[in-house]
A and B are shown apart, each in its own frame.
Chain A
Amino acid sequence: QSVLTQPPSASGTPGQRVTISCSGSSSNIGGNLVNWYQQLPGTAPKLLIYSNNQRPSGVPDRFSGSKSGTSASLAISGLQSEDEADYYCAAWDDNLKGVFGGGTKLTVL
């Protein structure tokens, strides 16, 4: 049981916009910054979004993040086949630990 709650799966067709939600509590998302990671099959995770809505250098602007209260969202616009991956939200928890969502498997139909 993960501390942060994500839908287990999401899907879309090429060119569509999809969103992935991440729900937490006041001790993690509510009071700290949210980060998102992309994990392609068989590879290590990659930082996709940090500090709620910032993209590291090299991440396409098709990826965007937002946060409101104790929830956060990752949006992917102009969906491409190479976006098929697992996506994880993460945050620091005031109980002095890092917490992840259970992950969302994105399928591009």
Chain B
Amino acid sequence: EVQLLESGGGLVQPGGSLRLSCAASGFTFSSHAMSWVRQAPGKGLEWVSAISGSGDYTYYADSVKGPFTISRDNSKNTLYLQMNSLRTDDTAVYYCAKGPPSVTIFGVVIPLPMDVWGQGTTVTVSS
């Protein structure tokens, strides 16, 4: 059974940092693109970032480009999201999601569709 388990959320002050982790099991982790998606309280889904299976390709939403860094450790079957310079509007539930097998087409690895999602971890940015 495919499982994704996020951790690392919590309360942080504006300007602070957090690193989210997503432990994956039940599939060949290194073969699949992975994404982070967030949902602010009472709001819709917002795609945040994605990474190819090898980690060679990374993509970011404009809203997080610069402060956030996605990475993965395929030896540990774990996905990460390093979040720096956090702002109050980064407050959200953060989901990790499994994408399709990584295939490079014209230099791009499309990380959609996201077919399995974790239960989410809550990040609260507040003073």
Is B118 part of the binding interface, using a Cβ–Cβ cutoff of 8 Å?
Answer: yes
Q: Which residue of B lies closest to A36 (CB)?
A: B113
Is B119 part of the binding interface, using a Cβ–Cβ cutoff of 8 Å?
Answer: yes
A99 to B61, CA, bound (A): 9
Q: Which residue of A lies closest to B108 (CB)?
A: A96
Listed in ascending order, the chain A residues whose CB lies under 8 Å from chain B are 2, 32-33, 35, 37, 39, 44-47, 50-51, 56, 86, 88, 90-92, 96-103
Q: Which residues of A contact B70 (CB under 8 A)?
A: none
Q: Which residue of B lies closest to A3 (CB)?
A: B47
**How big is chain B's contact interface, by range?**
20 to 34
One of A50, A86, A102 near B113 (C-beta < 8 A): A50
Say whether chain A's binding surface is mostly helix, strand, loop, or mixed: strand
One of B108, B112, B116, B120 near A90 (C-beta < 8 A): B112
One of B44, B62, B110, B117 near A102 (C-beta < 8 A): B44
Is B50 part of the binding interface, using a Cβ–Cβ cutoff of 8 Å?
Answer: yes
> Across the interface, do A47 and B35 meet the contact criterion of CB distance under 8 Å?
no
Q: Which residues of A contact B95 (CB under 8 A)?
A: 44-45
Summed over the interface, the residue pairs from A and B with CB atoms below 8 Å come to a total of: 64
> Across the interface, do A56 and B45 meet the contact criterion of CB distance under 8 Å?
no
> Across the interface, do A97 and B115 meet the contact criterion of CB distance under 8 Å?
no
A94 to B50, CA, bound (A): 14
Question: Could you show 16 A-B contacts with beta carbons less than 8 Å apart?
Answer: A33-B113, A44-B120, A51-B113, A90-B47, A90-B113, A92-B112, A96-B108, A97-B61, A98-B47, A98-B111, A98-B112, A100-B37, A100-B44, A100-B45, A102-B44, A103-B45
In angstroms, how far is the closest chain B Cβ from the Cβ of A38? 11
Is B73 part of the binding interface, using a Cβ–Cβ cutoff of 8 Å?
Answer: no
In angstroms, how far is the closest chain B Cβ from the Cβ of A3? 9
A44 to B36, CA, bound (A): 13
Q: Which residues of B contact A97 (CB under 8 A)?
A: 47, 59-62
Q: Which residues of B contact A32 (CB under 8 A)?
A: 110
Q: Which residue of B lies closest to A47 (CB)?
A: B115
Q: Which residues of B contact A99 (CB under 8 A)?
A: 47
In angstroms, how far is the closest chain B Cβ from the Cβ of A26? 16
> Across the interface, do B47 and A45 meet the contact criterion of CB distance under 8 Å?
no
